[in-house]
Structure 1
Amino acid sequence: MTTRVLYLLGSAAPPVLNMADIIRTAQGEGWDVCLGLTPTAARWLEPTLSELEELTGRSVRSQHRLPSEADPWPPADVAVVAPATFNVINQWALGITDKFIVGFAAEAIGKGIPLVAMPCVNRALASHPQFEQSVTTLRGAGVRVLYGEGGFVPNEPGAGRPSAYPWSAALREAQHVVSNCSEARDMLDDTL
């Protein structure tokens, strides 16, 4: 059995500080993990970036590569955008791709790469009308957005609990999506 490739794409919300543990968990579940971060999340994790690169065996990406550069990562079987901040969710839905992880995720929709997103926003930000529109837009594009029951439930501003961020739900959904895609490919191959 080949190892499946998980792109873990995180933005600057407190749960990103637990990224090494999440990578280890994903690897323990059989994933080959590639880590991408927003520039701010990369700055937050700067003291541990070399550890994260050693852990994944690949460069941690936070910038778009130059056109002349080869892609340093293998193709993704699935991408998990988590934690996904208010900015990332809205930029992604609106097609504003100045950040590497948002650019990848936006293009992945058109390439048919399975996508799971799990926001990390407080109730005040979640009440902004654009946020709900963005979640609806992403879901309409086929992105599995884990928001609400069974995913991330917003808390009051300043009352965040990074250790309670439901990473296991995101990894479980990634596994589910990839398994369903594999089954669909197998069925298609059988009919050809």
Structure 2
Amino acid sequence: MILYLIACAAGPAQYVDEAVRQAQRRGWDTCLILTPSAARWWEPRLTELAELTGHPVRSQYKLPGQSDALPKADAMLVAPLSCTSLNKWGGGIADTLALGLASEGVHMGVPVVAMPYFNQAQGAQPAVERSITDLRVQGVVYLDGPDGYCSHPPKHGNPAAFPWATALDAVDAQVRLRA
């Protein structure tokens, strides 16, 4: 089973290798897709991530005529989902490979789970609730509050404690529901 782990430039992205390892322990063949900003964070270690996953790490759309570098996804996990990417995705803007894959995937029958990571001040923006609602209407399983990630006060986040296992549990549950 192929999992696309799609990570945005939010604090826990610096620990995305741990998420890959957890997914692999569950039996997922994990492909990693990063937003361009998250890819910059990992730039010195992208080779390490490619070796860990066994696939190229993608952050850009392929050029016309290039073949797909990744196998077809059986499920997608967008985590950590930044506030910026949430609002772009909810508004139908797929200007990055990461958002484009998630936007298409949910409408192609692929189970898509998203877990945010942003602070309460960012979450107070009116666009956030609209975006969450719009994604849920499309079928995205959005994990927030007690069932996912609770926004933290500004400057008080703990990216190392991001609940990757909770997100992966939700992916596993969605795949079982559709089987």
Q: TM-score by structure 2 length?
A: 0.98
1:79-90 to 2 correspondences below 5 Å:
79-90=76-87
Match of 2:70 in 1: 73
1:132 deviation in Å?
0.7
**Could you say what secondary structure the match of 2:2 adopts?**
strand
Q: CA separation in 1, counterparts of 2:149 and 2:161?
A: 9
Highest CA radius of gyration, 1 or 2? 1
Deviations 1:109-134 (A, max 9, x none): 22111100001110001010000110
Match of 1:14 in 2: 11
Match of 2:52 in 1: 55
1:20-59 to 2 correspondences below 5 Å:
20-59=17-56
1:47 deviation in Å?
1.6
Q: CA separation in 2, counterparts of 1:37 and 1:66?
A: 17
Q: Which amino acid aligns with 1:105?
A: A
Structure 2, unaligned stretches of length 5 or more?
none
Q: Which amino acid aligns with 2:32?
A: L
1:179 deviation in Å?
1.0
**Could you say what secondary structure the match of 1:33 adopts?**
strand
1:55-134 to 2 correspondences below 5 Å:
55-134=52-131
Q: Which amino acid aligns with 2:75?
A: V
Q: Which amino acid aligns with 1:170?
A: A
Give the alignment's Cα RMSD to 1 decimal.
Answer: 0.7
1:39 deviation in Å?
0.5
**Could you say what secondary structure the match of 1:67 adopts?**
coil
Q: CA separation in 2, counterparts of 1:49 and 1:152?
A: 27
Q: Which amino acid aligns with 2:143?
A: L
Percent identity over the alignment is 44
Q: TM-score by structure 1 length?
A: 0.91
Match of 2:178 in 1: 181
Match of 2:161 in 1: 164
Q: CA separation in 1, counterparts of 2:71 and 2:31?
A: 9
Deviations 1:128-187 (A, max 9, x none): 0000110011011110000111201001111010122111111000111111111xxxxx
Q: Which amino acid aligns with 2:94?
A: T
Q: CA separation in 1, counterparts of 2:146 and 2:18?
A: 24
Runs of 4+ with deviation above 6 angstroms: none
Q: CA separation in 2, counterparts of 1:91 and 1:106?
A: 10
Deviations 1:57-92 (A, max 9, x none): 110000011121111111111000000001111111
Q: Does 1:140 align with 2:134?
A: no
